[in-house]
């Protein structure tokens, strides 16, 4: 099949009440249009056209860096005169032998399998519509059928009579049309309707009046065809999408204490026996190995967690690779570029940035470790700070195997604490500390025996 997919994305999205063009609004942290693109690409079409108009530069720019952006034929619709007018702009690129699949950028959750079934049905008809039944069909075009059940036309909400508004079968907007029929019928559309727009949906009436075959495919799960016109619908769909993802994850072996209280804004790959407490947010690309446990109120963004990692409540991890059996939190903040080797720990109120924490090394309390490399079995006392920044440059701290850094120590980088060194509590170090010795840099304790406290007169 010579498949040409056309995505309509020119509308302003007035009902969104936003400066951001509708198709760039995000669902699960990705623009609506990206969802549709991904589905389209999975169909391997011979051509992809996207009709843009309102804020088209902004929309095109948002995708110009993408891997597949070169394959997209961006078509301008300077004035948004309706969905039929939008397809009319693509006409110069439509060939008679093509099957044209029309998708809406504001219908983001449509699935590949549904589209394949729709395309299968086009083999016997000029026009195939995807319809669905809605309990509340408000805002959608209604499907008008004759006594024998054949589709006659589509009536838009704003043009419908009270009786027609009772119809619960609606147009999802998604249709497959033969290129030849489009070439003949598109120029015949008129804008004599309540909105003064050229409706693509009027193609159906044109087809039936010419005795062309119109087929329909019924979509069982209406969420797939849910259109987004306002922020409330966007929020509803975000929830529906999450439910779908969470259900799939539970089938793979993840227990969510409450599947309603978790957010997945990206790709989550999981092993088995994973436990996730409430209000956890996953963003970007997150990989969780077997037996991982995540406490309540954590945020994990672009993170890999190895087998058996335990993340305690209120921990924020971003851009990090955490190997098996590590423990983090509660209240830890792990920043981009951090790697923690097996069995390492980062406890409460610990911030780690762009550092390597060696196997079984512990940073248990109230510390800042930045631009540092810790080898294995290092112990960092409470309140240790790597002073990595001199106001101009960042400097590195190296802490070798089995070093023990006493509490409240400031390590003024660059410096190295050698293997097995011990640093006395309260030290401010600006030079290397030699291996297997005690180094301390603090004022000597003095006692002044004859000193008296001042007294009131
Ligand atoms: C449309 C359908 C309606 C269907 C509903 C499903 C028509 C006339 N109506 O209504 O039958 O039930 O979708 O969601 O087709 N667009 C353009 N250029 C334009 C106008 C719109 O590119 O000039 C794009 C929009 O960006 C959007 C899509 O087409 O992605 C749909 O437009 P919208 O105005 O939202 O149509 P609906 O009123 O929802
Ligand atoms: Ca719409």
pLDDT surpassing 90 at residue 197: yes
136-167 pLDDT tens trace: 999 999 999 999 999 999 999 999 999 999 99
Residue 8 in contact with ligand 1 by CB distance below 6 A? yes
Question: Which is it for strands 169-178 and 127-133: parallel, antiparallel or unpaired?
Answer: antiparallel
Ligand number with the minimum distance to the CA of 14: 1
Cβ of residue 370 lying under 6 Å from some atom of ligand 1: no
| Whether the CB of 171 sits within 6 Å of ligand 1 | yes
204, containing H or E segment: helix 203-209
What is the DSSP code (8-state) at residue 120? H
Alpha carbon distance 371, 318 (integer Å): 15
pLDDT cut 90: percent of the chain above it: 95
Q: Which tens digit of pLDDT belongs to each residue from 403-453? A: 999 999 999 999 999 999 999 999 999 999 999 999 999 999 999 999 999
The preferred substitution site among 12, 82, 83 for testing ligand 1, maximizing ligand atoms within 8 Å of CB, is 83
Q: Which one of 2.160.10.10, 3.30.110.30, 3.40.50.300, 3.40.50.10310 gives the CATH number of domain 231-439? A: 2.160.10.10
The CATH number of the domain covering residues in 3-225? 3.90.550.10
* Ligand 1: nearest atom to the Cα of 86: 18
Q: Which ligand is nearest to the CA of 204?
A: 1
Angstrom distance (rounded) from CA 223 to CA 416:
58
Q: Ligand 1 in contact with 85 (CB < 6 A)?
A: yes
Residue 453 phi/psi, 5-degree rounding, is: -70, 140
Quick check: 375 and 401 in contact, CB under 8 A? yes
Task: List, in sequence order, every residue forming a beta bridge with 3; answer none if it has no partner.
Answer: 99
- Residue located nearest, by CA, to atom 33 of ligand 1: 11
CA 83 to centroid of ligand 1, rounded, Å: 6
Kindly identify the ligand whose nearest atom is closest to the C-alpha of 88: 1
Average pLDDT over residues 247-276: 96
The residue whose CA is least distant from atom 20 of ligand 1 is: 82
Q: Residue for token digits 């079995």?
A: 377
Task: Answer whether 109 contacts ligand 1 (Cβ < 6 A).
Answer: no
| Ligand 1 touching residue 106 (CB < 6 A) | yes
Q: Which ligand is nearest to the CA of 10?
A: 1
In contact, 260 and 238? CB cutoff 8 Å:
no
Residues 6+ apart with CB under 8 A from 185: 203, 206, 207
The pLDDT confidence band at residue 279, using thresholds 50, 70 and 90, is very high
Residues 6+ apart with CB under 8 A from 251: none
Angle between helices 32-41 and 56-63 (to 10 degrees): 50
Kindly report the pTM of this predicted structure.
0.85
Distance CA 112, CA 174 (A): 12
Confidence of residue 67 (pLDDT cuts 50, 70, 90): low
Atom of ligand 1 nearest to the CA of 81: 23
Q: How much distance in Å is there from the Cα of 149 to the middle of ligand 1?
A: 25
Question: Angle CA(380)–CA(384)–CA(385) in degrees, nearest 5?
Answer: 130
Say how many Å lie between the CA of residue 104 and the centre of ligand 2. 8
- In angstroms, rounded to a whole number, what is the distance separating the alpha carbons of residues 75 and 78? 10
Position 40 pLDDT exceeds 70: yes
Helix (H) or strand (E) holding 170: strand 169-178
Q: Over the Cα atoms of the chain, what is R_g?
A: 31
Judge if the beta carbon of residue 107 lies within 6 A of ligand 1.
yes
Per residue in 84-104, pLDDT (tens digit) is 999 999 999 999 999 999 999
| Domain assignments of the chain as residue spans, ordered by start | 3-225, 231-439
Does a cis peptide bond (omega within 30 degrees of 0) precede residue 414?
yes
Cα of 10 from ligand 1 centre, angstroms: 9
Q: What distance in Å separates the CA atoms of residue 378 and residue 62, rounded to the nearest whole number?
A: 45
Residue 68 has pLDDT above 90, yes or no: no
Tokens 């999408």 sit at which residue? 241
Give the confidence band of 111 by pLDDT, cuts at 50, 70, 90.
Answer: very high
DSSP letters spanning 15-50: GG-SSS-GGGSEETTEEHHHHHHHHHHTT--SEEEE
pLDDT band at 326 (very low <50, low <70, confident <90, very high): very high
Instruction: Output DSSP code: residue 57.
Output: H
* Cα gap 44→324, rounded to integer Å: 39
Q: Is 224 in the pocket of ligand 1 (CB under 6 A)?
A: no
- Total count of residues recorded for the chain: 457
In angstroms, the CA 83 to CA 184 distance is 17
Cα–Cα–Cα angle for 362, 397, 339, rounded to 5 degrees: 50
Which atom of ligand 1 sits closest to the CA of residue 9? Answer: 26
Residue 65 has pLDDT above 80, yes or no: no
Residue located nearest, by CA, to atom 26 of ligand 1: 11
Token pair, residue 224, equals 């797939």
Q: Which residues are catalytic?
A: 365
- Average pLDDT of the chain is 96
108 lines ligand 1 (CB under 6 A): no
pLDDT tier at 50, thresholds 50, 70, 90: very high
CA 387 to mean position of chain CA atoms? 35
Report the nearest-CA residue for atom 14 of ligand 1. 227
Residue with CA closest to ligand 1 atom 13? 173
């Amino acid at each position: 099949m010579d498949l040409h997919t056309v995505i309509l994305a020119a509308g302003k999205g007035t009902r969104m009440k936003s400066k951001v063009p509708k198709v760039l609004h995000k669902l699960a942290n990705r623009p609506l249009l990206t969802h549709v693109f991904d589905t389209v690409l999975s169909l391997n079409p011979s051509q992809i056209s996207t009709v843009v108009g309102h804020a088209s530069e902004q929309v095109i720019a948002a995708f110009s860096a993408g891997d597949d952006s070169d394959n997209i034929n961006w078509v301008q619709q300077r004035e948004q005169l309706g969905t039929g007018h939008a397809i009319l702009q693509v006409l110069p690129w439509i060939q008679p032998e093509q099957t044209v699949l029309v998708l809406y950028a504001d219908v983001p959750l449509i699935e590949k399998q549904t589209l394949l079934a729709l395309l299968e049905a086009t083999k016997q008809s000029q026009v195939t519509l995807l319809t669905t039944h809605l309990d509340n069909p408000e805002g959608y075009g209604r499907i008008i059928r004759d006594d024998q059940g054949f589709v006659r036309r589509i009536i838009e909400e704003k043009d419908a009579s009270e009786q027609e508004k009772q119809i619960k079968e609606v147009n999802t907007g998604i249709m497959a049309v033969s290129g030849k029929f489009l070439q003949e019928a598109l120029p015949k559309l008129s804008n004599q309707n309540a909105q003064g727009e050229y409706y693509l949906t009027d193609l159906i009436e044109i087809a039936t009046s010419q005795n062309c075959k119109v087929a329909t495919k019924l979509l069982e799960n209406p969420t797939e065809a849910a259109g987004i016109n306002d922020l409330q619908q966007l929020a509803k769909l975000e929830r529906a999408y999450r439910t779908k993802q969470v259900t799939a994850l539970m089938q793979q072996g993840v227990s969510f204490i409450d599947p309603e209280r978790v957010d997945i804004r990206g790709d989550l790959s999981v092993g088995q026996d994973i436990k996730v407490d409430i209000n956890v947010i996953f963003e970007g690309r997150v990989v969780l190995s077997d037996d991982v446990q995540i406490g309540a109120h954590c945020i994990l963004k672009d993170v890999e967690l190895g087998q058996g990692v335990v993340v305690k409540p209120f921990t924020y991890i971003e851009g990090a690779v955490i190997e098996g059996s590590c423990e983090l939190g509660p209240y830890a903040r792990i920043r981009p570029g951090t790697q923690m080797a097996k069995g390492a720990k980062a406890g409460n109120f610990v911030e780690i940035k762009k550092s390597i924490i060696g196997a079984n090394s512990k940073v248990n309390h109230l510390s800042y470790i930045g631009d540092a490399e810790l080898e294995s079995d290092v112990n960092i006392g409470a309140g240790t700070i790597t002073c990595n920044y001199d106001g101009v440059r960042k400097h590195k701290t190296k802490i070798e195997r089995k070093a023990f850094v006493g509490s409240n120590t400031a390590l003024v980088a660059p410096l190295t604490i050698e293997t097995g060194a011990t640093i006395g509590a309260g030290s401010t170090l600006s030079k290397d500390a030699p291996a297997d010795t005690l180094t301390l840099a603090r004022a000597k304790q003095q006692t002044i025996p004859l000193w008296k406290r001042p007294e009131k007169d």
